[in-house]
Amino acid sequence: MRRTLLCVGLALRRSGMALSSGAAARAAGPRQARIEGALERAFAPSVLEVLNESHGRHEDESHFKVVVVSEKFAGVKPLIKRHRMVNAAITADTDGDLDFHSLSVAAAKTPEEWAKGHDIAPSPKCAGGDGRGAKQ
């Protein structure tokens, strides 16, 4: 059976609900490619979007938003467990630590849940800091 990956950013832009303006059109950097590969391996998603939302220089690859739609989320409740699964997949090769500043899991749904509709909220502005609550 052939699995199809959909570009969520494109689908949402067509419906007027873009994840981010212009960011999806830029080429993926090495960190984004690593995140995409990790999520592909862990979830075999039917929908996957990894969006670099880094402020300042896009090349910094410091802020990411992900949408993952996979059968592997079936029966996993509460939602925080799904988010932890995504986090674990991304940090499996970094000893459980994010090697970037910010990760937003915009959606972690089953295909059935995704088919019922999806609102992807815009990410909040970064307040700075090191991701642990302390300002740099």
pLDDT, tens digit (0-9, with 9 covering 90-100), for 9-24: 434 432 333 444 344 4
pLDDT computed for residue 135 by the predictor? 41
Who has greater pLDDT, 92 or 7?
A: 92
Instruction: Give the C-alpha separation, 95 to 43, whole Å.
Output: 19
Which among 8, 66, 67, 70 has a CA at the least distance from the CA of 44? 70
Q: At what angle do helices 30-43 and 79-91 cross, to 10 degrees?
A: 120
pLDDT digits (tens, 9 = 90+) for 81-114: 999 999 999 999 999 999 999 999 999 999 999 9
For the segment 44-68, the average pLDDT, to the nearest whole number, is 91
CB 25 within 8 A of CB 60: no
The whole-model pTM stands at 0.75
Instruction: Give the C-alpha separation, 106 to 83, whole Å.
Output: 9
User: Domains (ranges, CATH) in the chain?
Assistant: 8-115 (3.30.300.90)
Give the confidence band of 121 by pLDDT, cuts at 50, 70, 90.
Answer: confident
Residue-averaged pLDDT of the chain: 80
Q: Per mean pLDDT, which range of 41-50, 73-82, 126-135 is the poorest?
A: 126-135
Instruction: Give the C-alpha separation, 99 to 103, whole Å.
Output: 10
Instruction: Give the C-alpha separation, 69 to 11, whole Å.
Output: 14
pLDDT computed for residue 6 by the predictor? 44
